[in-house]
Amino acid sequence: MSPESPPLGRSTLPPKFLIGLGQLVWSGLWHLMMSKLAPRSTSGGYVRPTSQFHHRIGTREYPSAKGRYQLLVGMGCPWAHRTLLIRVLKGLEAAVPIVIVQPSPTEGGWVFDQPKEGCHALSQLYALAQPGYGGRATVPVLWDSETKSIVNNESAEIIVLLNDQFNELAKYPERDYYPISLRPEIDCWNEKIYHTVNNGVYRCGFAQTQSAYDVAVTELFSTLDELDGVLATNRYLCGNWVTLADIRLFTTLFRFDVVYHGLFKCNLRRIRDYLHLGAYLRDLYQLPGVASTCDLTQIKRDYYGNLFPLNPGGIIPSGPDLAELLEPHGREKLS
């Protein structure tokens, strides 16, 4: 018998009734915590709350201006990551500065490293912008420092504003990631990818019933399989040009093998297991400026360290190595 073996005749597990009691208590607490973290439908599926601020740049109230607007982002958040990508691809770093917030599990939301407008938490800034606000305080936020107001907090709309409304301030105004001729195709991809992939991974990870999970994971991998087929002949989703559809997909793909595959139970396949989708991820990652927006350490800390109901121990995995994203992708031959 090895030194590590338990004494003969003694169980390595607690008594049966303690196991049952622990399961009952933990199940109840898990459902309670999940109800706060992830609103659910009657079938146990995750229901993402909608954004509340939908103003536009280029109006009399919010004219385009250098330095007036700030992007409030969390580096681990895929929705905020979209805005960082379009900001760097358009060359808007000098025109639209960023303010980084951190998730705080003890405060139940995002907090500032340094107080902003006298606010310690993002929820306080929301209340400053709209007294009596009772919704969620999410990122990204396009903040107007002149009127102390939230212009927009819907990532899908913010990336369009950054693409369209700041060209006179952009380093690369000629880069159009939402061209009029491709908008119907881009919008079609965005609709499918949002439901089954971008939000689909959350529908898997935050599902509170087996049936809800089964539906979500089936739809997720059905779309990933379809995307892999399309990318066999297209360099990007809509042809030879990077569009907002690619930008919106990238932030989920970048986190997939790191987080969603294990923590969110999206484990039928990894992105690296897909011949074309894996190379496509490398292609996008190697575009100038993109890697600078990808903070893998913060992503793992945010997901594994803060989503207590999914990872009670808070243990953060050491891998994977991002060096493989720098390997040749060979997709230039498709252009």
Q: What is the mean pLDDT of residues 114-134?
A: 95
Specify the DSSP element, H or E, that contains 255. Answer: helix 244-255
Q: Which residues contact 183 (CB under 8 A, 6 or more apart)?
A: none
User: 3-state DSSP helix/strand/coil percent for the chain, to nearest 5?
Assistant: 45, 10, 45
**C-beta neighbour count of 113 within 10 angstroms:** 9
| Distant-in-sequence contacts of 106-112, Cβ < 8 A, 24+ apart | 108/36, 109/137, 110/74, 110/137, 110/138, 110/139
Choice among 46, 77, 126, 304 that is catalytic:
77
Helices (H), 5-77: 16-37
Residue 3 has pLDDT above 80, yes or no: no
* pLDDT number for residue 55: 97
202 classed as catalytic = yes
Say which CATH class 180-334 falls into: mainly alpha
pLDDT tens digits along 292-306: 999 999 999 999 998
pLDDT tens digits along 187-203: 999 999 999 999 999 99
pLDDT tens digits along 206-241: 998 999 999 999 999 999 999 999 999 999 999 999
DSSP 119-181: EEEHHHHHHHHSTT--S---S-EEEETTTTEEEE--HHHHHHHHHHS-GGG-S-TT--SS-GG
Specify the DSSP element, H or E, that contains 78. Answer: helix 78-90
Choice among 46, 126, 177, 202 that is catalytic:
202
**Given the structure tokens 């009657």, which residue do they identify?**
42
238 classed as catalytic = no
* pLDDT number for residue 22: 61
Looking at domain 69-169, its CATH superfamily turns out to be Glutaredoxin (3.40.30.10)
pLDDT tens digits along 97-112: 999 999 987 787 999 9
What's the alpha-carbon Rg for the chain, to the nearest Å? 22
Q: Which of 187, 188, 158, 195 is closest to 47 using CA atoms?
A: 195
* pLDDT number for residue 12: 62
Supply φ then ψ for residue 52, to 5 degrees: -115, -20
* pLDDT number for residue 117: 96
Inter-residue contact 58 to 152 (CB < 8 Å): no
The residue extents of the domains of the chain are 69-169, 180-334
Please tell me the distance from the alpha carbon of residue 214 to that of residue 43, in angstroms, as a whole number.
12
Please tell me the distance from the alpha carbon of residue 286 to that of residue 293, in angstroms, as a whole number.
12
pLDDT tens digits along 43-61: 777 777 788 899 999 999 9
Inter-residue contact 269 to 295 (CB < 8 Å): no
Question: Is it true that 69-169 and 180-334 share their CATH fold?
Answer: no
Please tell me the distance from the alpha carbon of residue 218 to that of residue 108, in angstroms, as a whole number.
31
SS3 string of 282-314?
HHHHCCCCCHHHCCHHHHHHHHHHHCCCCCCCC
